[in-house]
Every structure is written in C-alpha cells, then in structure tokens.
Structure 1
Amino acid sequence: MDKPDVNLLLRPLKAFQRRTVDYVFERLYREGVKRFLVADEVGLGKTLVARGVIALAIEELWPRLAELKRINIVYICSNGDIARQNINRLNVFDGGSGDSNHLAFATRLTMLPLHLGKLDENPVNFISFTPGTSFNLRSSGGIGDERAMLYQLLAGPWELNRDRHRRRIAKHIFRLGVERGNWAGYLDRASRVIEERGGIDKELMAAFLAELEGNGGVRQHFEELVEAVSARLPMHESRVRFLGDIRRCLARVCVWRLEPDLIILDEFQRFAHLLPADYEGSLPKAHGDSTTSPKDAEELFRILTGADGDRMDPRVLLLSATPYRPYTPRADTGEKSHHEELVRTVGYLLGSKEERDRFEEELRAYGEELFQAAAVGRGVRPDVVNALERRLRRVMVRTERLGAAGDRCGMLSPGLNATSPLATEDLAQFALVDGTSRALDSGEPIEYWKSAPYLLNLMDHRGYRLKERFVEEVRAHTSSTPLAQAVREGADALIDWSEIEQYAEVPPANARLRALVALGQPDGASGLLWVPPALPYYRATTGPYAKAGLQDISKVLVFSSWLIVPKVISVLMSYEAERQMMAGNVSSGRSYGYSEYSDRARLLEFRMSEGRREQMTHMTLLYPSITLAAMIDPMSMSRDGKVGELPPDHGTLAAVRDRVQKLIGPLLPADSNPDGPEDQRWCWVVLALLDQRDQAVRQWLDSTDDKLSWEKMVPARLEQGNFATYVGNLHAIVKGEDAEELGRPPDDLAEIVARIALGSPAVAALRALLRAAGNPQNVDDRVQLLAEAARVALGFRSLFNMPVVTAMVRREHPTDERGYWRSILAYCVGGNLQAVLDEYSHVLRESLGLLDREPSSVASELASEIAAAVSLRTVNLELDEITVDGRSGGIGLGERRRSVRCRYAMRFGDGRSEREGGLEPQETRKEQVRQAFNSPFWPFVLTTTSIGQEGLDFHQYCRHIMHWNLPGNPVDLEQREGRIHRYKGHAVRWNVATHVVATGLPDRLKLLDDVWAELFRLVQDAIGDDDELVPYWLIPSGRYQICRHVPLYPLSREHARYDDLKQKLALYRLAFGQPRQEDLLTYLQSRSSANPGNGFKPTFINLSPQ
C-alpha cells in the first residue's frame, strides 16, 4: 500500500485553508504541541482542514510504520449522522478505487472487538465514535447488538450456557429491551460476525477478563441477578447497572488497545465536560493499575487522549467555531461564563497551570487596557494585544470571513425588519386566545399570539399549558361557561375542516406569517417544483418558470424559539401550496376532496392490459439515452446568443431539433405510408435505436447485478413485474430482436426527441453525472452512470406521480391523461432541468467530499443524494378539529386528529408520512429533511429552533434567514446566520453567475465540462483575493446577499432589543475573554461613535495563522 499523495490531497484546499493546515502541522509535529484548536468561523471548512492535517500526519508517521504497526485516526463527534458522513470525508485513501488496505468505519467504542482484527491488517485506520454512546456507559444497557456481542464474549468464561436454566436466565439478563422472539436473531448475528472476522482478538479478550476480575463486584453482581431472576424479584434497574458496568470495563480495555495516533474532536464544546480539568491532563501509564482505574466518562476520555508509555502520545486536534461561549449576557447566571469557559479551554490546550496563569494575566491586562482606551478615546496599545495573540496562536487559530469584507458586513444585508400591518383576522385570533386563556387561567397569551395563529387547532396536547388545560376541560365535559363563550365567540378564528376538504383558503391570520408568505411563497411559487438555476441555459417563455419575480427565488430558513411555530408554518404554507396547485383540478372526470388524496389516479404507473404495455411512452422520461446525453449539450448552446442575454427556450429547442434530425434521420424508414396513422411508439423506440451500438448500454441492460439492475429499482413489489416487462421491451429494441411492425413516425418526432434531450429527467441526470464525473470513457464507469441516471429518473417519477404535482403540471401544460409525459417534458424544459441538475451535482460533489473519487463512486453518491432529495416523502402533521354545538353551545373535540400533508414547508425534525403511491407509511428523518432543503427541490421553507444546529449547514439553496424570535445574545444571531453563510452558498453562486452572464461564457468550455468549476475559476481570476475567500465564500460587491429578516411588530419593545443586539454584534469581539462582558459592552457602547466598532478595529483579537 502506497502512502497517499499529499500534494494531490492538499490541492483542493483554498489558500487560507492550506495556510492553516501547514500552521497546525508545524505546531503538532515540529514544536511539540500536543493539543491544538482550529476555531475557524462557521462554514469555512474545518473538516477539510482536518483532512489536510491527517494527510500530513500520515506522511510524517509513514517511515515509522514498521515500529507503529498501524496508524490510527480517531474522529469523535457528538452527532452520529455527522460522524458517519465526516469519517468518509476525512479518509484520505477513499478515492473510490476499491483499495482495501485501509479501514474506515463509525462504531461504538464497545463494539471495537469486532473490528480489531481488521485494524491490525491495515496500515491506516479511520475510526469514528460519538461520546454519548462510547463514554457515558454506566447509565445505559447499550444497544441489542452490543449486548449480544457481550453475551457471546462471556458465554465461555462465565459458563453462561452451563445448563438450560442458567442459559435461559443469562439470555434474559442480556436481552433487556429486545423482544423475546427477536433475541435469538441478535445472538446468531453476533456469533456469525465474530466467526466471519476470525474470532475476538486474544490479547483484548484476556485484558477484558482481567479487567472484570479486577472489578470483582461485576461478576458477583451477575450471580446476584441470576438468583433474582430465579426468585422472580424486580431487577430492571440493577440489570441496567450491571450491563453498564461490563460495558465500561470493555470500553476501558478497548481504549488501551486502540492506540490512537491522531484524535479529531469535532464540535467538542458539546462534550467539553470530558476534557481534563487539571490542565496537565495527567494520565495512568500502566494498564491494570487498580489505583488509576477509570471511574467515569471523563477518566475514560483521558485515557483515550493520553499515552500508555509504549507509543508516542497521540496528537489531539480540536475543531469548533464556538469552542467557548463567545458572549455571556448578565442574565445567564446559571451557566459557566464566557471568561470561565475560555480559561478552561485554553488551559487544557496549553497543558500546564503555569501557562494558564500567564494567559490569565495577559487577558486581565487586555481588559484593563480596553477600559482605559475607551475612557480617553485612544487606541489600545498594540503590545498588549500582540502578547495575548502570540500566546493563543501557540495552541489555536481562527479565520473569519468578515475580515475579507471591507465593511465587516460579510455579504450580509438587512431584509424585512417589520411585519405586515395587522389584519382583522389577526385581531380575531387574539380575541380567541385571550378569552380562552382568561377562562382557563393559563397565563398571558400575547407572545403566543404574536408567534402563531390557530393555536387551539395546532398546538400539541402536551407542552403548552393553554392547550393542556383546554383539552382537559373539553374531554371532561366540564367546560366552563366563560370557556364555551370564548370559543363560541371566536369560532371564526378556528380552522374549519370542512373548508379544508373543499380546498378553501385559510388566511395566515398572523402578521409574521404573512411576512414569511410574501418572502417564501410569492405569487406563483407553488408552481415551482425546484428552485430555478442560478445559471439557466435559456430563458423560459411559458409555464411557471416564466413568471415575473420567480427567476431568482431562494429558500428561507426560519429560526424560532417556540416549538409550535415550525408546525404552524409547515401546515399552513404547505396546505396553501397544495390548494393553489389543485385549483380547478378535475381528475378522471371528478373532483376530489382533501382527504381523498390517496384515491386519485397516478398517471405514471406501469400498467398492463391483456399482456400489452399500455404506457411505454413513460420510457421517454425514464430511459437515459447516452447518445442524447453525450451528443447534445444545452450549456454549450447558450454561448451562441448575445453577451448578457439568454436565448429563449424555443430558440434553443429549434437548435436542438436540427441536431436531433441529423441523428435520427438515418434510423427512420424511408418507405412508411405518408397517409397512414402516426405511430406514437416511435417516441421511445427511437431512443433505443440511437443507442443500439453503444457497448455500455448493452452491458447495462444485460447486467444481472442487483446494484445495476434497472427493473429492480422500482420499490413497490406489485410494480416490479410490470416494469421488468417494460424494460424487456426496450432491451429487445436495443439488441435488435423486436420485429414488431411500426407505423409512420410522428411528424413532430424530431421536436419530441429534442424535448427529451432537454427535459427528460433520465437524460438530464445522465448528462449531469457525465459532467460531474469527468465524462469517463471507460465502459464499466459508463455502465454505472447509466444505472445511476435511471435511479434518479425513478426519483423524478415519484415526484411527478404525486396527484398534486400532476394537477399543477397538467394545468400549466394541458394534455389528456395518456399524454401526461408530454406535459412533464414541457415542464422540465421550461424549468431548465439540465441547468438545475448540473448546478446541484457540482455543489454535491464538493459537499459530499467526492473530489478525488473514481467516476463510478462519484456517480453512485450523487445519484443516491439526488434521488433521495427529489423523492422526499410528504410528512403528516396533525391538528384538532374543534366545533361548537349551535344548540347547547358545548365545545367538541374530534376523537381523532386530522392530518395535513407538509412538503412545501417543513420543520426540521422527524416525521411520519401517509401511505403514498403504493408505498407504506414510513418515518422521515430530520437528516432527510435537511438533505432535501439543501437541494433545489421542496421544501422551500424550513423552520427550526436554535437547539443543536452547530455543524449543520443549510446554505446550498438558501440565502434568506428569518428570525421569528430574537435570540438572547449576538452570538446566537451570528451562529444562526452562519448556517447559510458558507462555501459556494446560494448567494455566492448567483453573484458568480451574474458576473459571467455579463461577460459571456468562456470559449474554452468544452462539451460536458463542469461549467460551474469553470465559472468559479473565471471569477477567481477576475476578482479573487489572496486568501481565496473571494469568490468562494464572499463576493462583497455582488448584487445577491445573505438577507436577515426580523419581522418586528410596530411599537413593540423588540425594536429596541434588536438595535441593542446589532450594536453588541459589532462590539462583542472587543470583550474577548473578559468577565462581566455585558457591563463592558454597555460601557463601550456608551463611548462608541455612531458607527460602532470602527474606532476599536485595531483591538479586535486576530488569531489567523501568521
């Protein structure tokens, strides 16, 4: 196995990232620093920096491989999804070439016994853990697979299978929460995996048994549990404690056996409590010394990040944009202050109390100098600032994008800062919630009312006192006269389900919500199934993408501190989108109500009638013609128009039609009867004829590999058989075996094929994958690309098969039901689908870490992501139907909650879908929601709370952020906005495209080149800076900005709070490391000029690599 090519691995890094990598490596491997922190601002690619450090570390350690035996890279992150994602990004060997001489996996620390054998076989290993499952062990019994493995490990040494009675009890103890009928499967799987991997490492097994023996109470505890089970005594808590104890013993042994060389702690502030508090981080040196036996998670973590005396100490690289609380308001007295967290973190990095004390002295001197400088109106002495910066740079660096923007606004502009005026329905909402709250004595409702409408309908039954009391009163049939009167008088402010059934309009009834609708759901936006491309290849002249004001629409990320808000936004905006899409719809001769959604016909089914395939024209959407994808490129045609103008879609279609005519002319019969009827089968047959001589197409359709098999990509079993028949029919044409007589080709066949070349999801997907993968010529690679393009096309089939989408598309491009495929082609052409997929594929290739992968691997990863995003299942959220009896005046609450489909707008969280298109209901995970929001496809609006968003990005198609509620401090405001202010974000790409359209696409672009890679190179040459933050993160002079929207009510106290927040945002960095930050900032505010911060600019702490 060759060591990785470091120069190749470092090539994708931007200049400032490469400078950071070199700086960190020098500190860790040349200057003896053991722990180092990269605190780059959110969105600047800390994972890529870590990957560069890993590459240099492996190169450094490689000559010592015979001594070390293996190089272990350990990655620890608190989020399991991010851990699994980033372990692949950090793997410097993963070029998709199938090299098996390294190992990369995410696991639990206590599952390591299953992997140790493989670790010893490989020179380099990448292992990922999450601290919650690997270090906090005592209070949890672990997962089923973990306990099954432990059972198999101890079955022999502890004689668990000595007799039938003991075996039954032992299995019961280890089974814990697993269903009795499933436990045997867990045990069999564990036994099989252990056997397949050559058994458990003998050295580890011996150490584990010794560890258990050294903790004699563990074995005794087990025997007591055996007796308790036999006596049928309650023992659940005791059983969990026992399992936690043996997991802890195994974890300690695994830590010693792992022997890491480099440890990456990502977003470590989430588990900062594990860092040693004694600064020196003294560690046990001899395994088995009972006086240093770990007692808790912190001790276990200390062992992992320390040394065992036989190997060099591991280097620890910490990653976090917020390694300590950058700002602590006076009100947050229950939390550690910014000053305390900074001192603790820096003390851990410096590694000694003496160094920490010097740092505190310099920090104190800086604070005193700030006060004195502000008092007399002079600058802070440079020597004071420089001393602090020098000490910190020994163990940490931080790059900020704001430093690249001359005005420090960082391409951020104020958007909407006021709500729309109050409307009559808003006041009706207040009257209802106020009257209800008074009747139930549930507190002041003004903040509820300001945040969301229809609270009684949409609040969950638990979590809000108002709704809890309301449900109790109604269900107990003891609703007080005041409550009944309040609901009766406010009945018009409730959601009437009968109106939902008829797709009647439900007004927003909330000023903030109206402001969001105006921004995120402008007139006509519900007709857009994807965000228009930043660089369209032509101009739409008909359909929804031709409507004024929609060409540069962007998604909206909403942050709220109220849990009810994400639900309200999702329900009301998604319902309104569906209502608009269904307007005037009649399907199969009848109209349908809202609840009859599943009854509507789906027009892209693979129907059979008397053994014949009824809708082979579906294949125009699903078959990835490699001839059309490789020979026709709308991107190259867009250069033919005038500079600064896009050609109209009909002009591009005409040009494509001329090329198509030359391609299909030789394939058409010269002797067909000109008076005979047109044979529509030519529309798909001609695609097969075009590809008859292509070896990759033949090899793909002949393949029996399940991963490549086209017919097995359809998820519903009932459809697989029919689809296989459809595929077989097309396959026969490709092989020249189908002798079926065809009639006269349609007169507009060239026009149809031109539309297929531009708008077929399959052809567009294949062209995008060819572009992203470097247009490989290897047959095996092209086979993989064909299969992946077909997979993406089936994802689009799911989208266009949704009844609400069908209704909208057929309204925009009318056809009969059998001609729906023509409507889809017209829609996709108008929507510039090729430009959309080209842009999305370029973004994904970098965001998924695929730059150095092989073409087949690139195609597989891209297709999986695109297909998942485009076919995201609708999530159902529930509301209560509340009625008022006209006679008695009593309040009624529906026995079952009503379900509303949400897709246009969604909340960031898990949800459940309804039965859809033959598919069973299933869970939609929040990571799938984020995946779709980071795509051009729905949802267009995502609402979330601020909790747990560190490390997550939402920037790829979003440049609008709305603060539904103001955060408590300026750092939270900055962190929220950092979610969408990132590498090659939507605003950045629009500015790049605008620049290029104004100057014209470069002539050096060739057929199937990655157009976006070339655009960024072009703009980099024109306006880029030395750091390369411009143009990849910032284009300060660009028209498109990150827009901050704060919908404030007129005359509310929030105006003053917002002004104060903005001032503190400009100044809080000045108070770096100081106790009582808010008092200091208040003082600095009082001394600052009308443009806060400018006079103090030289005093901002600069920790960029020098």
Structure 2
Amino acid sequence: MEHVFKRLYLDDQPADRFLVADETGLGKSMVARGVIAKAIERLDRPDSGVDRIDVVYVCSNADLAKQNLGRLNVTGQKDIIESGRLTLLPTELAKLKAPAAPGTRKRVNFISLTPGTSFNVSKAPGQARERAVLFRILQQLSVLKEDRHEDAIELLRSGAHAHNFNWEVKRLVELFPDGFAPSVAEKFQQLANSSGNLPAFEVSMRDALTDGAAAIRPRMSATIGGLRGDLAQAALECLEPNLIILDEFQRFRDLLYSHGAAPDDEDPAAELARQFLNYKGTKLILLSATPYKAHTGANEADGDDHAADFRQLLRFLSSERPGYMEGLEADLDDRRTQLLKQVPDDALTRRIEDGLKLFMSRTERPQLGKDDMLDVIEMAPTNVRAGDLTSYRSLAALFRATRTGNPIECWKSVPMFAHFLTGYKVGRMLDGRIHCDREAVGPVLPALATIDPDAYRRYAAVETDNPKFRAVREHTVGQGWWKLLWMPPSLPYVEPSGAFAEVGADATKQLVFSAWNAAPTAITTMLSYEAERQILEGSPLHGENTAEARKRFRGRLRFRVRDGEPQAMSTLALFIPPCRSGTCR
C-alpha cells in the first residue's frame, strides 16, 4: 500500500495509473482502502488545490459494487452514492455538494458506477428512472410544452407501464421543482443538438400529433438511447474525480483500450470512458489478479495475444510516457535472448523489475510447505480410450471444414465439446450466425461424439470422450461425494458419521483451472448429471429422466406456508436442538 501511494502522490515523477495485481484473496481491496485513506488525508489539506474529494469505484457488477464500496468507505459516512449510472448523477448533485462530514475539512464523496450501464448507454432505452430524468431535463429546457406532456410520457416510457412511468416523472418533478443544475442541462442541450438526438426527438413529437404517440413509441429506442448517451456525457460535469478504483477491469478493458491496438475512436462508449478517466489530476488504481491472459497460443479462437495485451496494458498504465515503453521492450528482448542462451544477468532482471514496479505490483500467495492450504492433485490422464481418439478425429474434421484451427487443446480440456461450442466461432457457424461452407460441414457432423440420448433419458451412465474429465469424476463423484449435502468440516468438533465418515477427511473443495470458457459449463454439467443419477438410483424416478417424471418426485424437507400460516412443519423438528431438563444441548 505504501508503495502504491508513494508512486501516485510522492515520487518526483508520480504515476497517474497503477495496477495492483495481487493474487486472489491477498487483499487488493484492502490496498485500495489504505490508499484511499491516505489520499483523503492528503487532499483534505487546505493547500491541496481541490474543493471536494470524489472517490469513484467502478465494477462490472452492481451488487458487488455496492458491497465493496462499503468496504472502501474509510470515513464511515452514510450518504454514499450507489446509483451505478452516470445518467442518474444529476439527481445526486445536492449530495455531491453537501457540507463536509465530521472529521474532514472538505466534502468526501464515494460513488459507485458500473461500466455497462454508465458508458455503453447509447443503444438501449435504459431504466424508467433514467427516462424520467430525460423527461425532467427536456421539460426544464422548455423542449416539452405543458400541453404535450402526455405524448412525451408515451414516447419515453418505452416498455414501462404508463402508470408506473408517470409516477416516476411526478416524483422527479416533486424532488426537483427547479430542475437540475443549469450547467448539466445546458451541456446536455449542447450535446443532444450536436448529436442530432434532440432534433430527432422533436421530429417524433411532431409525428405523434398526426400518427399518435402510441404508434411512434415502438420506434423510439434509438433516439432514447442516443439521448441517454448525451445525458451520460453531460453528467460528467457533476463529477470531480480525484481517485478512481477500477475493480476487475479486465472485464471491461475494451472501454480502456483495444487488445494490442490503439483505442477505437469510433466507439462512443470508449470515448465516454476516456473522458471520465482522463479528468485532470485524477489518479487511477486498477485491481485485478488476471489483468490479461497469462499465456496464449498461435491459434487462439478469440484472437488474444498475451504479449500484445501485456504491452498495451503497460502503455495505458504509463500514459504513453516518452521513452518508457521503448526502453522496457528493449530490456524484455534482451531478457528473452538471455534465457535462450542460459546466460544469467541479474542487473538486467532488476532493471526490468524496477521498470515494471513503476506502474504495477503483484504479491503471490507464499508456499507454506506441509501447512499450505492448497494441495495440487496431479491427474496425468493415462486412461485414453479408442473412443477418445475417434472423437478427436471427428472434431478435427469439423475444424478443418470450418477452417477454425486445431481443436486438440479444447478436446483435451472440454468433455463432449460438441455440446458446448456455442460461444466459439465454430459454434456460431453451426448456428448460422456466421457463414460457413455447409456442403463441407454437413457430412462431418454425424461423426461428432455426443451424449447418447437414450442413455440420458434412462438415467444411465454417460460415456465421455475426455480422460481428464473421467479422472476428475472418479476423484469426486466417484468417491461418494454425491451423498454429501455440504462439504465436511476440515476440523470437526464431533466425529463424523454416515456419508461424512465414508468419504473421509480428504474431501474438500476442488479448484479446476482452464483457459477454455466452455470447460466450467461442460465439467459442471457432466458432473451434476452423474451425481443426480447416483442420487436417484433405486428411486421410483430412476430410469425415466423426463419432465413428466420429475413432476412426480416430491422433496422431503418442505416447509409450506398457506395464508401466512405454517403447514406440515413436522420436519422442522429435525433442525431444532433437543432439550433435556430445560437445557438445550
């Protein structure tokens, strides 16, 4: 934490952007919290040059953003801003400009944003509340006359119920009788006129006079989306970000930079994000244990290149500092030559490390010998069957027909790949989303290894084409883990019995790493089927895996409530501690 703060604020040539790439679970958020505390202390001085302190937390998940913003709130103040959307910031301006909280000289704001709903806003109508903000600001600018309010509500309500949207509008009018800050309204009007979205809305209002607003409303998505984009850009006027935390930024790195290339100037979402991130004097902290794919091959299906991604990330972090990338890339080339020749050069290694630590740091979990919480299970798959090789041969024929590279890596990692290829280029070709040579593809499809539908319907064992998966299945479900309702405790207070005694003390969580997006879905699907099959063996449902048969199956631990009254709650006794002589044990 001290190193990050020093690089951002204290060095002679401070960094504006810094990456904390600590391994998962080692406290990246705590590092950010520490930097926030020290930054507030520094900026709260009378001579810091800022009137208020805005700390913005950006995360791809709104619920996670709300949770983590609470952790980063070092002041403990209650009035943090969790709207998650730039377009709603005009409604929070009073809170942003509120008096300082006890203990600080200046107002400190904590704001959470999600990139998908804050920057990539120009293609959808958004939430009803956002459209209500649009209504109020158009009303404030006198674009909407009193006698046209009903038509405007009809055009802007999109998929919301008319009554509900009308309520949102009335609520905003009551909360903001004088409208929003004039600077925001004027900026919005300027942007909306320049983009053509405001003239387009006015045309729609005129068309509503002749054709009726209800007939025009289905065609309003593009115009509303454009107005939302203008509003988001105008809302940046509300923010004065001093410190921005980008958590798990690799999930939205396209907004920061393109893979191995310059940012796309034609992308309005990326342009809006850059305006936000490049606010004068703003410091950025990026948090991610995996800021780029650690290794890629020559035939990556998604076109990733780990070397290009790494360099582009460094360009972004260094803000294109003159001479930095040229010197670092020369050192990296020398390092590669050194490794190939097996000639050690400690001075070169230290120079590269020092260069990287200017803009990034990483702490990895130490290996603790026999006391380590992690145990690597070696599963060298030696049980390769003839069917596995036949599956690879048919998969290779499909990849040749679609000209999508070599499938050997996905065949080794994803069981029954033919069922889980939807997200890949070959899957998009088969779905018809991308053109392919149907005459070449058609003949090879019947040979692909697929789940036997008859075995599936009978809840029979399903053979797979993947020796790695069979090893994982044997190590987990094959050891009777399907009998467990939950993972057994590693340090039990009482001696385990029943199924927990059968599996022994070695049963614990398993972590499977794979570079293939299809692997988690495929592995969990196949393991879940096998566990369910074992659970139902011997039951009336076994032998018929259909929706109709499932309807006949009733859960045993059910707690029913009818009209607020509990019904048939005898099973609750299983979960209540028994009492003897008035004392519960």
1:396 maps to 360
Structure 2 counterparts to residues 601-612 of structure 1, below 5 A:
601-605=554-558
Structure 2 counterparts to residues 290-329 of structure 1, below 5 A:
296-307=268-279, 313-323=281-291, 329=297
1:379 maps to 344
Structure 2 counterparts to residues 676-1075 of structure 1, below 5 A:
757=585
Question: Among residues 143, 148, 165, which one is paired with 2:132 in the alignment?
Answer: 148
Distance in 1, matches of 2:270 and 2:450, equals: 58
Cα 1:562–1:496, aligned 2, differ >3 Å: closer, same or farther? farther
2:55 maps to 73
* Cα offsets for 1:799-832 (capped at 9, x unmatched): xxxxxxxxxxxxxxxxxxxxxxxxxxxxxxxxxx
Tell whether the 8 Å contact from 2:257 to 2:312 is kept in structure 1 after alignment. no
Tell whether the 8 Å contact from 1:141 to 1:244 is kept in structure 2 after alignment. yes
2:552 maps to 599
**2:163 matches 1:184:** yes
Letter of the 2:137 counterpart: L
Letter of the 2:67 counterpart: Q
Cα 1:560–1:496, aligned 2, differ >3 Å: closer, same or farther? farther
SS of residue paired to 1:136 = coil
Distance in 2, matches of 1:607 and 1:213, equals: 55
Cα 1:237–1:302, aligned 2, differ >3 Å: closer, same or farther? farther
Displacement of 1:605 in angstroms is 4.6
Displacement of 1:23 in angstroms is 1.6
Displacement of 1:154 in angstroms is 1.3
Tell whether the 8 Å contact from 2:153 to 2:165 is kept in structure 1 after alignment. no
2:39 maps to 57
**2:576 matches 1:620:** no
**2:454 matches 1:496:** yes
Aligned pair count? 548
2:9 maps to 29
Distance in 1, matches of 2:373 and 2:499, equals: 33
Displacement of 1:415 in angstroms is 1.1
2:85 maps to 108
1:133 maps to 117
Percent identity of equivalent pairs = 29
1:360 maps to 326
Tell whether the 8 Å contact from 1:520 to 1:556 is kept in structure 2 after alignment. no
Tell whether the 8 Å contact from 1:161 to 1:167 is kept in structure 2 after alignment. yes
Tell whether the 8 Å contact from 1:461 to 1:467 is kept in structure 2 after alignment. no
Displacement of 1:339 in angstroms is 5.7
Displacement of 1:110 in angstroms is 0.9
1:873 maps to none
Distance in 2, matches of 1:271 and 1:198, equals: 37
* Cα offsets for 1:749-802 (capped at 9, x unmatched): xxxx6xxx4xxxxxxxxxxxxxxxxxxxxxxxxxxxxxxxxxxxxxxxxxxxxx
Tell whether the 8 Å contact from 2:200 to 2:223 is kept in structure 1 after alignment. yes
1:583 maps to 537
Letter of the 1:247 counterpart: R
* Cα offsets for 1:112-132 (capped at 9, x unmatched): 122222222363322111223
SS of residue paired to 2:146 = coil
Distance in 1, matches of 2:206 and 2:83, equals: 38
**2:194 matches 1:215:** yes
1:539 maps to 495
1:83 maps to 65
Distance in 2, matches of 1:305 and 1:491, equals: 49
Displacement of 1:108 in angstroms is 0.8
Cα 1:429–1:306, aligned 2, differ >3 Å: closer, same or farther? closer
Displacement of 1:547 in angstroms is 0.8
Question: Among residues 492, 507, 526, which one is paired with 1:552 in the alignment?
Answer: 507
2:379 maps to 416
Distance in 2, matches of 1:614 and 1:193, equals: 44
SS of residue paired to 1:597 = helix
Distance in 2, matches of 1:243 and 1:614, equals: 50
Provide TM-score, normalisation by structure 1: 0.42
Displacement of 1:106 in angstroms is 4.3
RMSD over aligned CA atoms reads 5.0
* Cα offsets for 1:150-180 (capped at 9, x unmatched): 11321343343533xx44543343234x15x
Displacement of 1:550 in angstroms is 6.0
Cα 1:302–1:581, aligned 2, differ >3 Å: closer, same or farther? closer
1:792 maps to none
Displacement of 1:219 in angstroms is 3.3
Tell whether the 8 Å contact from 2:416 to 2:450 is kept in structure 1 after alignment. no
2:242 maps to 261
Cα 1:69–1:618, aligned 2, differ >3 Å: closer, same or farther? farther
Cα 1:414–1:254, aligned 2, differ >3 Å: closer, same or farther? same
2:103 maps to none
* Cα offsets for 1:187-209 (capped at 9, x unmatched): 31243256357775434554445
* Cα offsets for 1:562-621 (capped at 9, x unmatched): 74x65554444333323322333469xx99986433334444456799xx9985654434
Cα 1:215–1:173, aligned 2, differ >3 Å: closer, same or farther? same
Tell whether the 8 Å contact from 2:5 to 2:35 is kept in structure 1 after alignment. yes
1:805 maps to none
Distance in 2, matches of 1:492 and 1:452, equals: 12
Distance in 2, matches of 1:333 and 1:592, equals: 38
Displacement of 1:213 in angstroms is 7.6
Tell whether the 8 Å contact from 1:456 to 1:467 is kept in structure 2 after alignment. no
Distance in 2, matches of 1:316 and 1:492, equals: 48
SS of residue paired to 1:72 = strand
Tell whether the 8 Å contact from 1:452 to 1:568 is kept in structure 2 after alignment. yes
Distance in 1, matches of 2:240 and 2:359, equals: 23
Distance in 1, matches of 2:389 and 2:299, equals: 35
Tell whether the 8 Å contact from 1:275 to 1:298 is kept in structure 2 after alignment. yes
Displacement of 1:78 in angstroms is 3.5
* Cα offsets for 1:925-958 (capped at 9, x unmatched): xxxxxxxxxxxxxxxxxxxxxxxxxxxxxxxxxx
Displacement of 1:461 in angstroms is 13
**2:96 matches 1:124:** no
SS of residue paired to 2:97 = helix
Displacement of 1:348 in angstroms is 4.2
Displacement of 1:335 in angstroms is 6.0
Provide TM-score, normalisation by structure 2: 0.75
Letter of the 2:39 counterpart: A
- Structure with higher Rg: it is 1
Distance in 2, matches of 1:227 and 1:452, equals: 57
Tell whether the 8 Å contact from 1:419 to 1:515 is kept in structure 2 after alignment. no
Cα 1:238–1:356, aligned 2, differ >3 Å: closer, same or farther? farther
Q: Show structure 2 runs of 5+ residues with no match.
A: 100-106, 259-265, 433-441
Distance in 2, matches of 1:298 and 1:460, equals: 27
SS of residue paired to 2:453 = coil
Tell whether the 8 Å contact from 2:420 to 2:522 is kept in structure 1 after alignment. yes
Distance in 2, matches of 1:505 and 1:327, equals: 36
SS of residue paired to 1:263 = strand
Cα 1:120–1:429, aligned 2, differ >3 Å: closer, same or farther? same
Cα 1:371–1:160, aligned 2, differ >3 Å: closer, same or farther? same
Distance in 2, matches of 1:521 and 1:558, equals: 18
Distance in 1, matches of 2:83 and 2:449, equals: 54
Cα 1:145–1:31, aligned 2, differ >3 Å: closer, same or farther? same
Question: Higher RCO, 1 or 2 (CA under 8 Å, sep at least 6)?
Answer: 1
SS of residue paired to 1:496 = helix
Distance in 1, matches of 2:352 and 2:465, equals: 54
Displacement of 1:109 in angstroms is 0.6
SS of residue paired to 1:261 = strand
